[in-house]
Chains A and B, each alone.
Chain A
Amino acid sequence: MSNIVIVVQPSILPVSQLLREKCNSPDFLTNNIWKIAFSPCSQYLAIPKQDIDGQHCVLVVHCSDWHAKNVTESTMRIHNQFNCTAAIWSLAFGQRTSKSNLRIDRRPFDASTLSTPTVRRGSLDRRSSLPVVNRRYDFSKNLFLAAGLASGKIEIWNIDTGELILVLKDHQLTVCGLDFTSCTMQLASCSHDTTIKLWDLFDDGNMYKTLNEWTHAINTVKWSPDETILCAVGPYELVVLFNTTTWKELFRLDGHLHTVVDCAFSSDSAVLVTASYDTRVLMWSTTTGEILKGFAHKIPKPLKIYAGGDNGAFVRSVAITKSNQFLITACDDNKVRWFPLLSDQSSSMIYEQTEPNVLYVATTPDGNTMAVSNRNGEVHLFSTLSTLSMNQPSSLKCFCRSAINTYSGVKRKDLLNLPIMRPLINYVLYKDI
């Protein structure tokens, strides 16, 4: 293990000033920006705002290079402004991409315990797996933005043409969480009406499953990057993982002491981090369901009575950077913190930055930029490139671990039975940190 000193110095980007001017222009009211979203191509940023007449809208900002030094009007511009009928609670970008690690590959695997993952839709026995059926909508080409509204509707806009394609109406109350899968355009939505609904956009937005086992709202849903796990988090310390082929519960994870508001998967789907109002971010293994590590935001740790109540340090959102190096969190004590994710030395933060009234943190999929939104209706952009350890390639062991976890797909439990030594199995399961 090399002891590289990790230096994190996110610097504010020049385009941030331009974005601030646009957001603060007198056309818009100052609103709490609860969620923002970056597109998979990292060039679009969606921000929910409310304009001067009280009309709710989503601003889609396009910037070809967030790190441009000379900022002119053409570097960053408002690409679309979509007007919505009700307050926007959640946003998600979806785009069909073809990813090589989800190809159907039936070559025998040497251990014969892991299997290569199959394309998820192909393994489901639904009408949508037939390619010849005529469809009304074509979701396979452009970039789409889904907005979940307070009325329970989900509006889907085509970013390139700027038109409203589809309105999904099934939830009774506010849709507070949305997530698209990375390749196959399945949408998961969760709502204050205590249900989670799954929509297949390749089948014209057909809702094929409702999960309603709870009597309270669900805050956020997230798909794992290999689409085999769906994570739902909510109040009463709820963290639950579902198997996406059988829709049975894989794990119900216990460990938080307050409402859980946000979650994120690592890029190989082996690690889940959840952020909660109990001032902690917990890191779980999706293979075994154990807690790997906890990241504290209030030191000394609050007593349980405070952790479960009003402690002034609710962690509102969490994001994992590309290649699983860092964890970025936004907390109600007005700080944005960076933690090293896979370091076996410590779980203390390596950088913190004061952002008054910060609400949400989002990172671009290409790992270069971070956006932070706050209650004053502003979004600030930071560069995440100026970190020393990001310029070093990881060790081969790390790559192997990541590859094994990415390829294991549905058969994740078989990782416990690999024909290698026990310390190596623990390494693959991230138990050494």
Chain B
Amino acid sequence: MDTAGATSSSGAPPNIYGGLEGPESMYLKLISSDGHEFVVRRDFAITASPTIKNMLSGPGQYSESQPNEIYLKDIPSHVLINVCRYFAYKAKYTNSSIDIPEFPIDIQVVIELLVASDFLDC
């Protein structure tokens, strides 16, 4: 799910997306165990998962060599894509006034998704 989020530059075309640079970047890159890179909104990921928040801000074993990149070595890509969808679902329906539909989960991934959601605490 690589978005077309180009890193911000000074010669500005009308659609500028926030980039991956720096501590206040708008996006984060989550890397699954099989190498897929998922770019998600930083604020969505941080509000949904305290584990990701700790990985970014805490010292020690969670500090990453590349900033704004989190390597999740236990989560395969077919599970991580559902996690990213959940981040968007939660961000959309938090404090919403309309009926919240149920989050659809495919039967094939549900057990691994449970393990991943337990790890990410989301």
Q: A residues bordering B, Cβ < 8 Å?
A: 105, 107, 109-111, 116, 323, 391-393, 395-397, 399-401, 403-404, 407, 418-421, 424, 427-428
Q: Which of chain A's residues has its CB closest to B86's CB? A: A396
Which of A116, A323, A397, A399 sits near B118, CB closer than 8 Å? A397
Q: Which residue of B lies closest to A101 (CB)?
A: B107
Cβ contact within 8 Å between B107 and A111: no
Apart from A397-B117, A407-B110, list 7 A-B contacts with CB within 8 A.
A105-B107, A109-B108, A393-B94, A396-B103, A397-B114, A404-B114, A424-B114
Contacts A/B (CB < 8 Å), 19 sampled: A105-B107, A107-B108, A110-B108, A391-B96, A392-B95, A393-B89, A393-B90, A395-B122, A396-B86, A396-B122, A397-B114, A399-B105, A400-B110, A400-B114, A401-B114, A403-B105, A403-B107, A420-B111, A420-B114
Those of B81-106 within 8 Å (CB) of chain A? 83, 86, 89-90, 93-97, 100, 102-103, 105
Taking a contact as CB atoms closer than 8 A, the residue among A393, A399, A424 that contacts B93 in the complex is A393
Contact of A392 among B86, B94, B112, B115 (CB under 8 A): B94
Are B117 and A109 in touch, CB under 8 angstroms? no
Q: CB < 8 Å: which of B96, B110, B115 contacts A424?
A: B115
Please tell me if B113 contacts chain A, counting CB pairs below 8 Å: yes
CB pair A404–B97 under 8 Å, yes or no, is: no
Nearest CB of chain A from residue B68's CB, rounded to whole Å:
22
Interface centre among A111, A399, A404 (most CB of B within 10 A): A399
> Ordered nearest first, which 8 A-B pairs have the shortest CB separation?
A400-B114, A396-B117, A403-B105, A397-B117, A393-B93, A396-B86, A403-B110, A399-B103
In the complex, are the beta carbons of A420 and B115 less than 8 A apart?
Answer: yes
Bound-complex Cα distance A374 to B89 (A): 41
Chain B contacts of A427 at CB under 8 A? 114, 118
- State whether A397 and B122 are in contact (beta carbons under 8 Å apart), knowing that A391-B97, A392-B94 are contacts in the complex: yes
Residues of chain A with a CB closer than 8 A to B48's CB: 396
Q: What residues of chain B have their CB less than 8 Å away from a CB belonging to chain A?
A: 48, 83, 86, 89-90, 93-97, 100, 102-103, 105, 107-115, 117-118, 120, 122
Task: Tell which of A107, A111, A395 touches B117, judged by Cβ atoms closer than 8 Å.
Answer: A395
- B contact residues around A109 at 8 Å (CB): 107-108
List of B residues within 8 angstroms of A428 by Cβ: 114
Q: In the assembled complex, which residues on chain B have CB atoms less than 8 Å from the CB atom of A392?
A: 93-95
Contacts of B86 in A (CB 8 A): 396, 399
B94 to chain A, nearest CB (A): 6
Nearest Cβ distance between residue B90 and chain A, in whole angstroms? Answer: 5
How near does chain A come to B80, taking the closest CB pair, in angstroms? 12
Nearest-Cβ distance from residue A51 to partner chain B, whole angstroms: 38
Q: Least Cβ distance of B75 to chain A in Å?
A: 12
Q: Are B95 and A391 in contact (CB under 8 A)?
A: yes
A391 interface neighbour in B100, B103, B120, B122, Cβ under 8 Å: B100
Q: Which of chain B's residues has its CB closest to A420's CB?
A: B115
Q: Report B51 CB to chain A, min CB distance, Å.
A: 12
Q: How far is the CA of A247 from the CA of B93 in the complex (A)?
A: 42
- Please indicate the chain A residues that have their CB under 8 angstroms from the CB of B100 in the complex: 391, 393
Distance in angstroms from B111 CB to nearest chain A CB is 6
Chain B residue with Cβ nearest A2: B50
**What are the residues of chain B within 8 A of A407 when measuring CB–CB?**
107, 110
A103 to chain B, nearest CB (A): 11
